[in-house]
Amino acid sequence: MRNGKAGSWRSSPVRAAIRRCSLAILGVAIFSGVINILALTGSFYMLQVYDRVLTSRSIPTLVGLTVLMAGLYAANGMLDFLRVRVMSRVGVRIDNELRENAFAAVQTLPLRFRKSGDGLQPIRDLDQIRSFLSGLGPTALFDLPWIPLYLAVVYLLHPWLGTFSLGGAVLLVFLTLLTELRSSAPMRDAAQSAGQRLALGEAVRRNAEVIKAMGLGGRMQKRWKEINSLHLAHQLKAADAVGGIGTVSKVLRLLLQSGMLGLGAYLVIEGELSGGAIIAGSIIMSRALAPIETSIAHWRGFVAARHSHRRLVELFRLLADDSEKVLELPQPRINVLVENLTLVPPGGTRAVLQGVNLGLAAGDGLGIIGPSGSGKSSLVRALVGAWLPVPNGGSVRLDGASLDQWSPDMLGRHIGYLPQGIELFEGTVAENIARFDEEAPDAAIVAAAQVAGVHDMIVHLPDGYQTQVGEGGALLSAGQRQRIALARALYGDPFFVVLDEPNSNLDQVGEAALTEAILSVRRRCGIVVVVAHRPSALVAVDKVLGLVGGRVQAFGPKEEALRRLLQPVADAGRGQRAEGPSSQMNLKVVGERHGV
């Protein structure tokens, strides 16, 4: 975290959003206060009916009391209706204020932390908070502070009744605390196993072809059964904890209500209480204990919302740097520098790149070669800013400015990236090439396709540029996806273009188009980096970087770098000449694979 940033993010976006709703929440609290006072209407009505109307046999008094009671009940209902609607809108407002943060977290989380589980957890957490605020759980919490008022009114009717009600309330509060203790851990475990379950389900869906072709269905079914059983066990444990205690609280409340009537009858017999006070006391005590019972019934939602709140607060704190506002820098035109770069994959512990240094000027084309696992793809991820260096682990700079000085949106305008794993988004070919820019000029889309040599292929698709590619580009062949992704990388004439094995799915025509595309970037004074396993990808570059074990073995002009990389092979070939011409043939093959 850079200096000056920590202080600005001490206030979590979640808490800030809740604070901005504080006036609405205060209004709901006031409504709740009035509602709880009006909730005494029934008990006082019954008290007056039994102690005044029945003794005086006055019909006008009964009518007057009934009209007053109906009006107060109507006001109570209206306020209760309004507070539920206000809380629903509080939930929606919090969702509106945090949805961009949550969606940004979904995009950023895989690049910072390689955690297993549900990648959509931030969105699900936000949904959980909104759902809880829109339900009856918050209203019960607003009613809890008014329990002492009801108990005081019961105490005024008779001290014994007040003491009995207080004892019942203490028992229910104890059950509430017991619910918290017994349900918190199972609820947390259930949320974690639910994420793992959804992640496995999504992985199976996306790899259905591999599972079918290689007969992995039974094994995946076994893994799903294990994870699903674990999730159901956690859910069952949480449900048993909440449901069992909820049942006990309900029975206890019925016992208390009946016990209140029995105690009141005894006091009437003893001449210490009127008949109306029995009914009034029973109603008031029932109203006093109702918020506790409702809280227990909705405790699962409360615990889930609390865990979601904590996860979002912690997540936004960890990703705070990605939201820092930066100045818009001039368009890069000069160079790309990598200075002493050390890189550890997200969630990893071992560096895959150590001390990488290189410099590229406008018009350069760099080919990155090396054996599998040497760090080539890791390096290109660092070059485009997807992976960050370790603290004090060097930097990648565009025209002298490190990549973290650019906002992702501004940086994206100047970078074209073709990853090793091609992934198109559901939409049209034109939308994918234009990077889903709604204001993209048609001419720019066509120009990118022409530079990538894919225009003719696109116009022969069923709907041309308006052809739907399907989820992940499933309606296109692997070669078509790769060529369209190349056009996407070239859209807008970015200064820095990074291509990770861009010819892995291309035929001879596609490779010729790729070579011309690389040359076109260099001719307009852009910089191209190409990761290659096939020599044809190196034809259009003028520099080569050789990686082995995460360290640079050679860097410089193509012929010189390849000569340095191949020299050990040549020496080994001369040492084994007596074994026959096979060593010379191996050297020739290695040279051909590196474009020599």
**CATH code at 527?**
3.40.50.300
Does residue 429 sit in the same domain as residue 298? no
Provide the domain limits for residue 402: 335-566
Q: How far apart are alpha carbons 178 and 182 in whole angstroms?
A: 6
Strands 415-418 and 496-500: parallel
Is residue 579 one of the residues assigned to a domain?
no
For residue range 55-69, list pLDDT tens digits in order. 888 888 889 989 999
Does residue 535 sit in the same domain as residue 408? yes
Sign of the Cα pseudo-torsion (549, 553, 559, 562, in order): negative
Does residue 127 sit in the same domain as residue 270? yes
Does residue 318 sit in the same domain as residue 352? no
Does residue 256 sit in the same domain as residue 384? no
pLDDT of 383 > 50? The answer is yes
Residue 539: C-alpha distances to residues 362, 485, 495, 512, 592 (Å): 18, 20, 20, 10, 11
Report the pLDDT value the prediction gives residue 580, as an integer from 0 to 100.
44
**Per-residue b or e along 429-451, where b marks 16 or more CB atoms closer than 10 Å to that residue's CB:** bbbbbbbeeeebeeeebbbbbbb
CATH number at residue 243: 1.20.1560.10
- At 517, the amino acid letter reads A
Average model confidence (pLDDT) across the chain: 82
Is residue 186 one of the residues assigned to a domain?
yes
Is residue 296 one of the residues assigned to a domain?
yes
Residue 526 binned pLDDT confidence (cut-offs 50, 70, 90)? very high
Residues with Cβ within 8 Å of 131's Cβ and at least 6 positions away in sequence, in order, are 91, 301, 305
Is residue 593 one of the residues assigned to a domain?
no
pLDDT of 108 > 80? The answer is no
Q: Give kind and range of the element (H or E) at residue 452.
A: none
Does residue 472 sit in the same domain as residue 428? yes
Burial class (CB in 10 A: 0-12, 13-18, 19+), 495: buried
Does residue 316 sit in the same domain as residue 409? no
Report the pLDDT value the prediction gives residue 117, as an integer from 0 to 100.
54
Compute the 3-state secondary structure of the chain and give helix, strand, coil in percent, each to the nearest 5.
65, 10, 25
pLDDT of 259 > 70? The answer is yes
Contact 321, 2 (CB under 8 A): yes
Does residue 356 sit in the same domain as residue 309? no
Does residue 367 sit in the same domain as residue 431? yes
Is residue 1 one of the residues assigned to a domain?
no
Number of domain units in the chain = 2
Give the pair of three-digit tokens for residue 458: 């696109």
Residue 578 binned pLDDT confidence (cut-offs 50, 70, 90)? very low
Q: Which of 247-261, 390-404, 413-427 has the lowest mean pLDDT?
A: 247-261
Burial class (CB in 10 A: 0-12, 13-18, 19+), 181: exposed
Q: Residue 507 has what DSSP assignment? A: -
Mean pLDDT of 525-548: 87
